């Protein structure tokens, strides 16, 4: 199946799950607990996540836990040439919605990629091997080409699709947490 069609299917599955908030919240709790009990999380001092759209995994759970544990929490800003920069966020950080509806931090300090211990990579569709299809901008694919730290994704079982051809430029995340 082609990526554009899989992306549509993945978005439909995420929106279906969003319409079942009790199930979605239960899955988020299971996935979060698995992550919080994992060495990837326990050893990380600096964690990069995204601010979710309504139908995506609620990463606010990670923000709260990270701050409680004294971790530096980062969120991306998408810039020119389809590049991501990551910025330190606190409870005081203000956010502004982009033209794509994504909330990005405003006036938050940039943190170099080398300082990120754990990058939580978003996606719409995943294989069990950690290959992913995102929104199609290629921002994370470009970032992952040079990123050396640990990577994981928080995945609903509804996002798993094995029937697509991984391409030479596709990079997998190291670990999936699935419910």
Query: In 10 A of CB 55, how many CB atoms?
Result: 16
The answer to whether 40 is annotated as binding is no
Tokens found for residue 99: 């033209």
The answer to whether 139 is annotated as binding is yes
The answer to whether 123 is annotated as binding is no
From 147, 174, 152, select the one nearest 62 (Cα to Cα).
152
The answer to whether 6 is annotated as binding is yes
The answer to whether 129 is annotated as binding is no
How far apart CA 1 and CA 142 sit, in angstroms, is 23
**Cβ atoms 36, 28 nearer than 8 A:** no
**Cβ atoms 132, 98 nearer than 8 A:** no
Q: Reduce the DSSP state of residue 114 to 3 states and report it.
A: helix
The answer to whether 49 is annotated as binding is no
From 13, 31, 2, select the one nearest 124 (Cα to Cα).
13
Residue 34 — φ and ψ, nearest 5°?
Answer: -60, -45
The answer to whether 124 is annotated as binding is no
The answer to whether 10 is annotated as binding is no
The answer to whether 5 is annotated as binding is yes
The answer to whether 130 is annotated as binding is no
Indicate the Cα dihedral angle 20, 24, 27, 31, nearest 10°: 170
Binding-site members for substrate are 56
Binding-site members are 3-7, 56, 132-140
Binding-site members for ATP are 3-7, 132-140
């Amino acid at each position: 199946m082609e990526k554009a069609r899989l992306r549509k299917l993945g978005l439909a599955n995420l929106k279906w799950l969003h319409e079942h908030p009790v199930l979605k919240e239960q899955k988020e709790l299971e996935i979060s607990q698995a992550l919080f009990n994992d060495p990837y999380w326990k050893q990380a001092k600096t964690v990069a996540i995204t601010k979710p759209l309504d139908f995506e995994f609620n990463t606010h759970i990670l923000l709260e836990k990270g701050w409680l544990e004294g971790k530096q929490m980062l969120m991306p800003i998408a810039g020119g040439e389809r590049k991501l920069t990551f910025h330190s966020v606190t409870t005081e950080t203000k956010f502004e919605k982009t033209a794509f509806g994504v909330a990005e931090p405003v006036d938050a300090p940039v943190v170099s990629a080398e300082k990120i211990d754990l990058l939580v990579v978003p996606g719409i569709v995943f294989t069990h091997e950690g290959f992913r299809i995102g929104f199609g901008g290629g921002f994370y694919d470009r970032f992952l080409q040079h990123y050396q730290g640990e990577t994981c994704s928080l995945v609903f079982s509804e996002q798993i699709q094995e029937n697509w051809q991984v391409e030479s430029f596709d990079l997998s995340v190291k670990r999936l947490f699935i419910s």
